[in-house]
Amino acid sequence: MAVRIALIVLVLAGAAWFAVAAGSFSAQDQIAKLALATSTPTKGDLAAARRLVPRAQRLNPDARIGQGIGVLEYRTGDPAAAVATFRRLTEREPRNAELWALLARVAKGYDEPLSAAATARARALSPPVRP
């Protein structure tokens, strides 16, 4: 009897974890769609994405959640917010060349020295491509 109860508890815990993880990945997917699939995202799209962040981050520390927010900030005309977002992300993941390249892109035309430094960092982190 005790074994059955323990097994039921484990199954229920696994099901709960799966439900939370599925919700998290669904929210992350929605943020990505708002950031990239919308031809002209609006401030409303950005607000909707920001509301999804807490759910997306449950059991999921992936930087792509913040990346989606940064892309939306940039695409809705707020380079200062996008730069701040990508600075936080590169501080958290200093060896992520993709994040440095995105920081370089959003800083271009807004903070040229930062854009140049971020470009150099992205290149330094990227493996050389051989022909």
Q: Where are the domains of the chain?
A: 15-77, 79-126
In the predicted structure, residue 63 carries a pLDDT above the cut 80: yes
Would you say the C-alpha torsion 119, 120, 125, 129 has a positive or negative sign?
Answer: positive
**How many residues comprise the chain?**
131
User: What are 86-99's pLDDT values in tens digits?
Assistant: 999 999 999 999 99
**How sure is the predictor about 1, in pLDDT bands with cuts at 50, 70 and 90?**
confident
Within 8 A by CB and 6+ apart from 28, the residues are 52, 56, 60, 62, 64, 65, 68
Instruction: Compute the CA torsion angle 45, 105, 92, 28 (nearest 10 deg).
Output: 30
User: What is the structure's pLDDT at 19?
Assistant: 54
Distance between first and last Cα of the chain: 65
